[in-house]
């Protein structure tokens, strides 16, 4: 059973610079640690709804070795929002359901991270074989989720952000993407181009014009996560500076 969005991955070249930018945007950023593969490290922007933004950087930006998600090529296109993850309450069952729906699935495999204080946390992941990243990778914690995802004061952001309300996903082949998202979410109440996974909305967007922002993103990065909408206390809606957000499109409000 899919629980909801777990986190969104924002690939950056320099982690410290990214942290400073997100703090300037009014987010509270928590150090994350180094992943078990020894290739990447991260910092987190956790929200009160249990989701988070993951700012992730390769330890050696100029190195040739990639991770299992294939993120390194995105550095050449500026990084930004490159992937997303959905939490599973039963990863084996969800993997089996997706395989029965006709998807090729890699995993479940072991994953983990060493926190700045030395504690090791562990999880299992599964990845759907696909062109682009219309579908997420799935995660199920083995150690307590509270060890992986900060809570309490870490989720209290000066800009009022409280959670992820919507993730837009870009694709050129809208019909195929809709079929994939329907199979992933098993959302029988889906409305047009909007699907729900737990409390979160996944919204498919396709290009209207050869020069629009969706088409430009598809040209540089292929299909996949496109823009984030966050809920916030205090009302008002505003687009956050994409420069400070390391190329990620984020709307607050």
| Pairwise CA distance, residues 71 & 63, whole Å | 12
Q: What is the pLDDT of residues 132-177, one digit of tens each?
A: 899 999 999 999 999 999 999 999 999 999 999 999 999 998 889 9
Burial class (CB in 10 A: 0-12, 13-18, 19+), 34: middle
Give the C-alpha separation, 222 to 104, whole Å. Answer: 19
Q: Which of 180, 159, 158 is nearest to 169 (CA)?
A: 180
- 188 — pLDDT class (breaks 50, 70, 90): low
Q: Give the whole-angstrom CA distance, residue 134 versus residue 182.
A: 11
For residue 237, name the pLDDT band (cuts at 50, 70, 90): confident
Q: Is 203 exposed, middle or buried (0-12, 13-18, 19+ CB in 10 A)?
A: middle
- When pLDDT is averaged across residues 99-118 and rounded to a whole number, the result is 92
**Averaged pLDDT for residues 189-216:** 84
CA angle 171, 131, 8 (to 5 degrees): 70
pLDDT above 80 (res 189): no
Question: What HEC string does the chain produce?
Answer: CEEEEEEEEEECCCHHHHHHHHHHCCCCCEEEEEECCCCEEEEEEECCCCCEEEEEEECCCCCCCCCCCCCHHHHHHCCEEEEEEEEECCHHHHHHHHHHCCCCEEEEEEEEEECCCCCEEEEEEEEECCCCCCCCEEEEECCCHHHHCCCHHHHCCCCCEEEEEEEEEECCCHHHHHHHHHHHHCCCCCECCEEEECCEEEEEECCCCCCCHHHHHHHHHCCEEEEEEEEECCCCCEECCCCCCCCCEEEEC
Q: How confident is the model at residue 5 (pLDDT cuts 50, 70, 90)?
A: very high
pLDDT in tens, 110-128: 999 999 989 999 999 999 9
Lateral strand order in the sheet of 224-232: 194-197, 200-205, 161-170, 224-232, 249-252, 238-239
pLDDT at 104: 94
- Domains (range + CATH), the chain: 2-152 (3.10.180.10), 159-252 (3.10.180.10)
Find out whether 56 and 49 touch, Cβ atoms under 8 Å.
no
């Amino acid at each position: 059973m899919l629980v909801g969005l777990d986190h969104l991955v924002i690939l950056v070249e320099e982690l410290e610079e990214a942290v400073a930018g997100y703090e300037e945007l009014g987010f509270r950023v928590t150090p994350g640690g180094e992943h078990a593969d020894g290739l990447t490290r991260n910092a987190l922007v956790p929200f009160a709804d249990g989701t988070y933004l993951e700012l992730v950087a390769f330890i050696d930006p100029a190195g040739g070795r990639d991770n299992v998600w294939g993120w390194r090529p995105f550095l050449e296109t500026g990084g930004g929002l490159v992937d997303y993850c959905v939490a599973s309450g039963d990863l084996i069952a969800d993997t089996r359901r997706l395989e029965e729906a006709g998807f090729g699935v890699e995993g479940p495999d072991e994953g983990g991270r060493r926190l700045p204080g030395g504690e090791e946390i562990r999880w299992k992941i599964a990845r759907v074989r696909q062109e682009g990243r219309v579908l997420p990778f799935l995660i199920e914690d083995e150690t307590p989720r509270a060890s992986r995802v900060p809570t309490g004061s870490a989720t209290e952001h000066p800009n009022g952000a409280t959670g992820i309300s919507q993730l837009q996903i870009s694709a050129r082949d809208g019909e195929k993407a809709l079929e994939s998202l329907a199979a992933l979410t098993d959302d029988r109440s889906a409305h047009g181009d909007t699907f729900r996974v737990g409390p979160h909305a996944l919204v498919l967007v396709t290009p209207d014009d050869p020069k629009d922002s969706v088409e430009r993103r598809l040209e540089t990065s292929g299909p996949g996560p496109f823009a984030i909408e966050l809920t916030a206390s205090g009302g008002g809606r505003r687009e956050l500076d994409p420069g400070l957000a390391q190329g990620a499109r984020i709307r607050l409000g």
